[in-house]
Amino acid sequence: MTPTLSRGGQPSMRERIIEAAAELFYAQGIRAVSAEKVIAKVGITKVTFYRHFPTKDELIVAYLERRAGWERGAVEAARLAAAGKASEVFRIIAEGIGAESCSPGFRGCPFINAAAEYADAEHPVRQVVHAHRQWFKATIEEMIQELGVTDVSVAADQLVMLRDGAMVGGYLGDPGTIAKSLYDAGRAILAFHS
């Protein structure tokens, strides 16, 4: 997702606020970060902050939507790089998850983290999480149809669950093994359903 730029080519104030919030939310947890912390990080006034985000929930939604856009772009880039060949797309995605889980400051999946902090399934934050997960599952279903999978929906559910486990494993376990383990386990699921 391309950030909105101001006339001078710099990120817009809205983007600066989202970027600061993203860093803080991911590192410290969403509920642990107050609007005041974001305001201080950006170096703006409360009036400026609340002009762009009247509520913290709106900022959280913008943060998650931005992350969803980034992930959609990464999956689309993988699909283009693999010329649409599903098995190659899965390898690229597994390598991407492995690389991300090895990056400094990795704390797991931002969507899983947000869902853990917001128990109410009707809350706007959970709605963004749900929409992103539905997109991800639908994208997997679309890709595995070409592989001759017999029960596309069940296989996609299992691959999503495997991805979730890989993200948690990258945070709590040995991130160096995530890419290969994820790819191998995904191939086993697809073979089972073929």
Which residues sit opposite 34 in a β-bridge?
none
Residue 117: CB partners within 8 Å, gap ≥ 6? 29, 30, 31, 125
Contacts 24+ apart (CB under 8 A), 6-14: 13/44, 13/48, 13/52, 14/52, 14/62
Q: Which two tokens stand for residue 14?
A: 């809205």
Helices (H), the chain: 13-28, 35-42, 46-52, 56-81, 86-101, 110-117, 124-145, 152-172, 178-192
Q: What are the Cα distances from residue 27, in Å, to 7, 19, 34, 127?
A: 31, 12, 13, 22
Residue keyed to tokens 């998650």: 64
pLDDT (tens place) for every residue of the chain, 194 residues total: 445 555 556 889 999 999 999 999 999 999 999 999 999 999 999 999 999 999 999 999 999 999 999 999 999 999 999 997 988 999 899 888 888 888 888 898 999 999 999 999 999 999 999 999 999 999 999 999 988 898 999 999 999 999 999 888 877 877 678 888 888 999 999 999 98
pTM: 0.88
Domains and CATH numbers, the chain: 11-54 (1.10.10.60), 56-192 (1.10.357.10)
pLDDT of 172 reads 80
pLDDT of 11 reads 84
Among 62, 5, 4, smallest CA distance to 38 is for: 62
pLDDT of 102 reads 81
CA 127 from chain centre, in angstroms, equals 14
Q: What are the Cα distances from residue 169, in Å, to 129, 133, 136, 173, 187?
A: 20, 19, 19, 5, 18
pLDDT of 8 reads 59
